[in-house]
């Protein structure tokens, strides 16, 4: 009982700090997103220096897509809750290796994605995109080199956890690395063949939560895979919103994403993913991972998707330019509610 209480206290404190950090970042980036660069010329030197540093912070947040980092942090938190509640000893120190490794890998995969989207003509200047290459924040060669560095550093950081847990974790890690790299890279280019959504669902959902549980207590169970389903559905919704917005440019470049295959019914894919996330909470409740209060809290967390859903279902294409970022913020709200539901 005392052990479960200490685990809950740890995760409550972590969630509070994570939400505070994300709220601060969102406010700060929104302020400097609308600030005229010429304002800095009228500042004294200390203020110009501070403005320059914040501008650099915002630039790298866009390059690395920091707004999407919760899709790898939140599933590991959910997996950690399940691992901590189990009967087997939990090695909490290993998660300190997993988080920075995952962030490096996620950022590297994002840059690989940006690189191939750019050179294949999917992302162009003036169109909604991730900005890293279209706004010349990096050259294509710089983006590719940085991606390879991040993809190499990630596994090296995770090495203590990989050595501690053996072949099963190595195989899961290799599957995640291969899926992330070949998501856009040749010869597979999964995204361009309509398989991107399935890949993202697996890598940021069940595979990630199961790998976290395996890392922390050395065990694999159905529960470890089950809790990743709603998170995988909603992280896939981030991608689907992006592909829904870009389907015209994808079609012009000769690529067929799932949104393109669905044609006129493409806008229904987004609410179906949110609905699937909601329905997947029922077997989680039946498995005893959450109680009735937790189920209600998790369902409440889905309310953050109301505005993105309204935008998509009413065909407000002029508001789709940041649908992926808005979905990512809704994902963060759901994740906080879902992880809290697992704790109570």
Model pTM score = 0.79
Residue 219, pLDDT score:
83
Supply the DSSP symbol for 93: G
Q: How far apart are CA 33 and CA 41, in angstroms?
A: 17
Report pLDDT digits (tens) over 247-306. Answer: 777 777 677 777 777 777 878 888 999 999 999 999 999 999 999 999 999 999 999 898
The share of the chain scoring above pLDDT 90, in percent, equals: 35
202 pLDDT higher than 60 = yes
Are 303 and 336 a contacting pair, CB within 8 Å? no
Report pLDDT digits (tens) over 128-143. Answer: 556 677 777 788 898 8
The string over 313-331, giving b where at least 16 C-beta atoms fall within 10 Å of a residue's C-beta and e elsewhere, is eeeeeebbebbbbbbbbbb
N residues, the chain: 344
The DSSP line for 235-263 is: HHHHHHHHHHHHHHHHHHTT---HHHHHG
Q: Where are the domains of the chain?
A: 2-343
CA distances from 199 to 11, 145, 228, 258, 270 (A): 29, 24, 14, 12, 16
- Cβ partners under 8 Å of residue 57, min gap 6: 28
Supply the CATH classification number for the domain 2-343: 1.10.600
């Amino acid at each position: 009982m005392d052990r479960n209480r200490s685990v809950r206290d740890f995760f409550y404190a972590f969630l509070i700090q994570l939400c505070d950090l994300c709220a601060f970042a969102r406010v700060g980036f929104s302020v400097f997103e609308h600030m005229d660069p010429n304002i800095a010329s009228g500042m004294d030197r200390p203020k110009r220096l501070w403005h320059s540093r914040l501008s650099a912070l915002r630039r790298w947040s866009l390059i690395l897509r920091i707004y999407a980092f919760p899709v790898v942090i939140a599933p590991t938190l959910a997996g950690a809750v399940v691992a901590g509640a189990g009967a087997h000893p939990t090695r909490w120190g290993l998660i300190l290796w997993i988080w920075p490794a995952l962030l490096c890998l996620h950022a590297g995969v994002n840059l690989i994605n940006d690189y191939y989207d750019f050179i294949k003509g999917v992302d162009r200047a003036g169109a909604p995109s991730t900005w890293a290459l279209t706004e010349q924040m990096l050259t294509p060669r710089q983006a590719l080199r940085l991606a390879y560095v991040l993809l190499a550093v990630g596994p090296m950081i995770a090495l203590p956890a990989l050595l501690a847990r053996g072949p099963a974790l190595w195989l899961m890690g290799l599957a995640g690395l291969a899926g992330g790299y070949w998501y856009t890279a040749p010869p597979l280019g999964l995204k361009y063949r309509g398989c991107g959504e399935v890949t993202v669902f697996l890598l940021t959902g069940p595979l990630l939560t199961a790998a976290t549980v395996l890392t922390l207590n050395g065990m694999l169970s159905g529960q470890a895979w089950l809790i990743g389903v709603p998170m995988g559905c909603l992280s896939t919704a981030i991608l689907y919103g992006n592909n829904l917005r870009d389907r015209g440019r994808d079609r012009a470049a000769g690529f067929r994403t799932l949104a393109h295959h669905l044609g006129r019914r493409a806008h229904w894919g987004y609410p179906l993913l949110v609905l699937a996330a909601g329905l997947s909470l029922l077997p989680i409740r039946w498995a005893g991972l959450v109680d009735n209060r937790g189920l209600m809290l998790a369902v409440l967390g889905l309310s953050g998707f109301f505005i993105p859903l309204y935008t998509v279902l009413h065909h407000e294409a002029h508001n789709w330019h940041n649908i992926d970022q808005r979905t990512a913020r809704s994902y963060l709200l759901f994740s906080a509610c879902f992880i809290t539901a697992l704790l109570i």
